Amino acid sequence: MTKTIKIILSISLILFFQIGIFPHLKIFGVYPNLILISIIALGILRGFKETLIWAIIGGLFLDFYSFNSIFGISLICLIVVSFVAFFIVQNIFKKTNSSSVALIFLITVTLYDLLLLVFYKILGIEFEFTFVKLIINVFYNAIIAMPVFYALKKLFPSRNI
Amino acid sequence: MSFKVSKKYLVIFLVLILGLVFLNLFPKPAKALENFIFKVFSPVQKIFIRTGNKISDFFQILISIKDLNKENAELKQKNSDLEAQLTQLKEIEKENETLRTALNFAPKNTSLYEIASVVGKNIQGTEEWILIDKGTDDGVEKNMAIISEEFFLVGKVIEPNKDFSKVMLITDKNSLVAALIENRRNEGLVQKEEGSDKIFLDFIPKTEKVEIGEKILTSGMDNIFPRGILIGKAESVDSSENQLFQKITISPAVDFNKLEQVFILKNK
């Protein structure tokens, strides 16, 4: 129970930074998604089992602070990307370094955006998509993700890395 | 490469999906939880939003320190111009009142302004909206116009909750505002340009020679935004041959990133 409360408090803090600070970092209409970055980082560092509860709470917050008419889309996407991040670490990059971590972020952030796009298309939600914006978003998130990853690595030392 | 997902995770995932389907079919519990979370978080969020704005202001000052003197002189000039205008307007108002009394006209129905704080923002970058701390309990309804403290157009209420409301900004892809160019009275629609962050005024005939810097105001034709609210200024004009109308890109009067307080126009 206390663990869940700690997670809720931590994600709340991430959310406050996301709402208060990150909109000012807007470049070409995109800014990093700190909740997404943190969940992927935890997926790499601590594995899927531990990240699942973070992904559920983080996904709920993302959904509350989104404009979607369908509740839960971000939550499902977040769970899938945290699993994929863990899967890549376990099966592809057995020895991770900065470049492999950056590559995992590039892959998973792209996957997250594409999953959202697929959900929006299937459910008929209007969504503005441009390839250029997707590329900028993916690289911008991956760049910001690196310091976030190493900060989280200190707070949540990895079992594998 | 091993790919094993234990049954336990599949069950959790299935339960989650079923739970989400249930919450979408019967949204009341999710809305109540959303309202509760907004209520708990809004005081802290206000602090973070204010701090973020202050940090951003500090860096902007550092960047623009060279231009401050020039800007200061311009503002002083603008201030004296506005003071002169205000005096004139007061005179006109007095005259108007006298004429109303003389003609026995009922006073014009004035809008009710309610102040609200911005307590949340879009966090995924796919939509442009803000969260304000007034909801249906405060008389807020869908489609009520939202303006800034300086009386510039911000957007409209799109999702009123019990104590909070989501406001769609005029920079959102789904926003449409009936507008006109000041002094010219040509009417058009303000919407977001696809694939960019800019908003533009459409449906203005090419015969109209629009100058950069001209003011774009709401026209009131959409029955949502009252006439005469400043949207922004013309930033560039595109009247290329392959278009039926000219496209006037607008620089919005509001800095949407720095909104802290807004007014809700209760009289639609």
Q: Which tokens go with B96?
A: 């108007």
Q: Which tokens go with A108?
A: 């998973």
CB contact under 8 A, A91 and B3: yes
| Chain A, nearest residue to B160 by Cα | A67
A55 closest CA partner among A16, A95, A14, A23: A14
Maximum separation of any 2 CA atoms in chain A, in Å: 43
Asked if residues B48 and A21 have their Cβ atoms less than 8 Å apart, the reply is: yes
ipTM: 0.86
Q: Is the pLDDT of residue B8 over 90?
A: no
CB contact under 8 A, B48 and A21: yes
Q: How many CB atoms lie within 10 A of CB B4?
A: 5
* SS3 state of residue B50: helix
Tally the C-alpha atoms within 13 A of residue B56's C-alpha that lie toward its C-beta.
18
Residues of chain A neighbouring B52 (CB-CB closer than 8 A): 20-21, 23-24
Point out the residue among A16, A75, A90 whose CB comes nearest to the CB of B20. Answer: A75
* Per-residue pLDDT reduced to its tens digit, B58-117: 888 888 777 788 888 888 888 888 887 887 888 788 778 877 777 765 545 556 789 999
What is the spatial distance between Cα B147 and Cα A28, in angstroms, rounded to a whole number? 25
Q: Where are the beta strands (DSSP E) in B99-164?
A: 113-121, 129-132, 145-148, 153-160
| Chain B, nearest residue to A91 by Cα | B1
What is the spatial distance between Cα B121 and Cα A64, in angstroms, rounded to a whole number? 11
* SS3 state of residue B195: coil
Give me the residue label for tokens 């796919």.
B126
pTM value is 0.81
Point out the residue among A33, A52, A91 whose CB comes nearest to the CB of B125. Answer: A33
Q: Is the pLDDT of residue B5 over 80?
A: no
CB contact under 8 A, A20 and B41: no
Q: Is A150 on the interface with B (CB under 8 A)?
A: no
User: Phi and psi of A157, rounded to 5°?
Assistant: -55, 140
A36 closest CA partner among A113, A93, A102: A113
Q: Is B225 on the interface with A (CB under 8 A)?
A: no
CB contact under 8 A, A137 and B125: yes
Which ranges of chain A have pLDDT less than 50?
none
Q: How far is CA B46 from CA B5, B50, B51, B116, B256, in A?
A: 42, 6, 9, 12, 15
Res. B49 pLDDT band, cuts 50 70 90: very high
What is the spatial distance between Cα B51 and Cα B56, in angstroms, rounded to a whole number? 9
Asked if residues B134 and B114 have their Cβ atoms less than 8 Å apart, the reply is: yes
CB contact under 8 A, B257 and A23: yes
